[in-house]
Structure 1
Amino acid sequence: MPPERSTRQRPAYVLCVAAAVCAGLYLVTFGGGAVAAWVPDLGKTRAAARVLEVDGDRTAGSVVFEFATGEGRTVRASAKRRLFEPGAEAGDTVDVLYDPQDPAASARYDQKPARVLPWCALALAVAVLSGAGAYRTRPGA
């Protein structure tokens, strides 16, 4: 007859599994979103833009901004407000990305997806350590 395990390990096992699952979901959701937002930015050029006009509400409005290309050409462009920086107002300076081949049509707000990467590294560490804890405290081991 096998020796009986203590039931004290059961809450630790459940906690480790829950932490590993939550950290993994965070990593997939936000890490995947950061990578998906970063890939289209490859090959784009950054510039500082001045917001000229903000109209409408957050869901249906637009933002008009102006920036100078690397060649010194001034370009005026617009974007949907929901895709722009949340608190942008006329006169603000924001970072934009643009394709040097067609700056006016391709200009968009730089969302800086790399800001979430340190949190994804933390979530990865929590997921790995919680998974190891769940493995060590699993029932029947």
Structure 2
Amino acid sequence: MGILVSKKRPPAWLFGLVGAVVIAGFAYATFTMWRNDVALSERGQQTSARVVDTGKRDEVEFRTADGEQVHALIGQRLSGPQLAVGEQVEIVYDPADPTSDVDDVRARDDHSVTFLMFGVTLAAALSIPVVTWRLARSSSRRRSTSA
């Protein structure tokens, strides 16, 4: 028994609404990454950390200047050396929010993921309204010719 699949397109307004939600999500993620990059460059403090996990994202533990033990993820990056559990690395953390993403000193200037997210956000912000407009126009043409 097969699955029934409708050949009818969803309405243009629904595509536009979902697109707006996607754009907002990418914009928020981009802004969060950019804000963290700025915080680390303006007020970041350097310290030594121990790598505790190397899953999807590398996790480290370290002590802040006031002695608080913290676990944090190393920020998104495309460069830098591969880390191993137990390895000691120099990191930069934000003393105002030590649990936010930290930077590995050896790949400190790698903002490529932030720029990539900005590019995806910009592409979506430019293309989704155009596609929504074309869908709405196409839909109205079909309705007028079938009437």
**TM-score, normalization by structure 2:** 0.47
**TM-score, normalization by structure 1:** 0.49
- Bigger Cα Rg: 1
Structure with bigger RCO (C-alpha 8 Å, 6+ apart): 1
